[in-house]
Amino acid sequence: MITEKFRLQWYQRSKSYDLFEQGVQQFMKQYAHQVDASELNSFARSLGRNTRDTALVRQALDWCERAVKEKPDPQFIGTKAFLLYRLGDTDQAIRLQEEAISRIEDKMENKYQIEYQQKLLDKMKKGEEIR
């Protein structure tokens, strides 16, 4: 399992998205019950950003929903909003993106995360493409 995780991370970092897409699907078939919320979110975000296959975006949304259920972290909620937006559910995406922003602690170390999440929200409201 560890070797496969490193391989997936390598695919992500090297932008080998076709290999990541294939590898993450195989990995999740075998190890889904052992993957924690952070890994689920990472896989969902990478798959959702880089695939053109709507069925895979839906699969990523399933993983992200599991992550949010296990740990309702603002980043995970933001990923879910992004995936919903990619699937065309703009109203729900905007609502969740606003929720994600409201859950980020207003501290100096979170300044850039808040700004980034706000930029995504603004793009959603304008109907712009997000990657």
Counted residue by residue, the chain has a size of: 131
Tell me what the mean pLDDT of segment 7-23 comes to: 95
Write down the domain spans for the chain: 2-126
pLDDT: is 57 or 107 the higher one?
57
CATH match for 2-126 among 1.10.3720.10, 3.40.470.10, 1.25.40.10, 1.10.1740.10 = 1.25.40.10
Q: Alpha-carbon distance 118 to 48, whole Å?
A: 19
pLDDT value of position 108: 81
pLDDT: is 2 or 99 the higher one?
99
Tell me what the mean pLDDT of segment 10-17 comes to: 94
Average pLDDT value over all residues in the chain: 95
